[in-house]
Structure 1
């Protein structure tokens, strides 16, 4: 009985010693071994490890990305506008020994220091930027500069900052309406300038189009007058050449046209002397041999005259 008890006690002691000596490092962890509070060594490889029981202690640190959300801070921008910035930071522990020496064994020890670092960087960088830059595509450049400054200061704590982002940027309640009114006035001013420039360009285009239209119409009218004059000249030349072949017939033809125009209405009254040149062809027809012998002149026939020709 005593031997069995001794064996049981020895087994229990062995189990306790083994549990205090052996420990497992998970793949998401990195371990710092301390002896009487002093750091001895750092283990970053996962697997089963051993330490001196009851003398050395194991402090595990997460090697994954960690998040830290900072409270909203009021920041004065480069154009003296106030903005409430709510940010978050992502970091990882790269040097467990340095982290233990500067921030302690718990991750909570780094949060106060990280909050101070991030807030200072936000104030420095945003203090040189206007509101429109923070709200535009320049925000990526601004966040890159903030991340660079935060990472430089955080390295002395054994951590690496991989990202800093502005989650929300709000205007203070007392300044929101005034700033919105100012922004609206600015946008309206830009819109008025754009409309004025557009109206100026439209007037220039319209004036140029009217000038070209006037030139085109004048050139077309001049060309039409030239063509019309050439046509009338050709017509006169053709008529002149045709009538020069028989001038007497031309004179007779013009007289017949005058008779048609004068007597076409049927109610025309003319006061002329009997020897007027206008009735020369009538007198000549009366002096023909058939008319002089007193014989009865044949009844006049209706003769269809051709249409008048231009003079």
Structure 2
């Protein structure tokens, strides 16, 4: 019995040691082997591997892209404006040995260092930029410079920074109202200039229209005067031709027109002698012969008395 117990214990220990000797490296991991706390080797290829049981330890690091978010930091821009910047960082562990030697066996150790590196780079780069540049298409160039500086400092920890981005850039509350007031004043100034330019253009258009109107009216009046003169000239020619063909009838017709204009209302008064030439056609009219009076009807005879 004692031999069987000893043999079973040896088998159990052997199985335990064999199980402790093998480990698997996942495709999303990279492994650092340490012996008594000292790094021995790095395994970055996935698969089944061996180690010395009870002596060597396996420390796994994620080889995927990792995230790190920084809290909002207040920075001073190049135009002396204050801005609260909230950023995030994407990085990966490229050298597990250097990472273990400088940071430690966990990813928590790198977060504090990344926070100081990213914050310092943000302050250095944004200190030479204006608010308009940060809020415009220039942000890509600014973030590229921040990413370059952060990556240069982060390489000494065995990591590579893939990207640094500003998630949010807000003005401090005490500066927001002042900036909004300045923006409103600027917009009002632009609006006043636009209205003044519009009024100037409108006045110019009205003056041109008034000038064109005056020219058109003058030209129309000139054309009308020419037409009236031509018409009067033709009328005079027609009257003259008619007078030459029958002067007596023409004189009679003109006199009849004068009679119509004078006596049409029935309220005209004229102080003239009967022998005036104006009434010559009244004097020259032949006197009408008086018609014979009709014989008077005989009076009825009185009725006989009853």
TM-score bucket (shorter structure): 0.7 to 0.9
User: Match of 2:23, SS?
Assistant: strand
Match of 2:181 among 176, 179, 185: 185
Q: How high is the TM-score relative to the length of structure 1?
A: 0.80
1:240 aligns with 2:236: yes
For the aligned residue pairs, the C-alpha RMSD in angstroms reads 2.7
Distance 1:227 1:251, change over 3 A: farther
Aligned to 1:112: 112
Q: Distance in 2 between matches of 1:206 and 1:81?
A: 41
Q: Distance in 2 between matches of 1:84 and 1:267?
A: 100
User: Match of 1:106, SS?
Assistant: coil
Q: Distance in 2 between matches of 1:253 and 1:220?
A: 41
Structure 2: which 5+ runs fail to align?
291-306
Distance 1:221 1:83, change over 3 A: closer
User: Match of 1:222, SS?
Assistant: helix
Moved more, 38-47 or 270-279: 270-279
Give 1:1-311 correspondences, 5 Å limit. Answer: 1-136=1-136, 138-172=138-172, 176-177=173-174, 179-247=175-243, 248=247, 249-283=249-283, 285=284, 291=286, 296-297=287-288
User: Match of 1:214, SS?
Assistant: helix
Q: How high is the TM-score relative to the length of structure 2?
A: 0.81
Structure 1: which 5+ runs fail to align?
300-311
User: Match of 1:59, SS?
Assistant: strand
Deviation at 1:214, TM superposition (A): 1.2
Question: What's the CA shift string for 1:125-177, capped at 9, x where partnerless?
Answer: 121233444455544443333222211211221111123233444555xxx33
Structure 1 stretches of 4+ with a deviation exceeding 6 A read: none
Equivalent pairs, count: 286
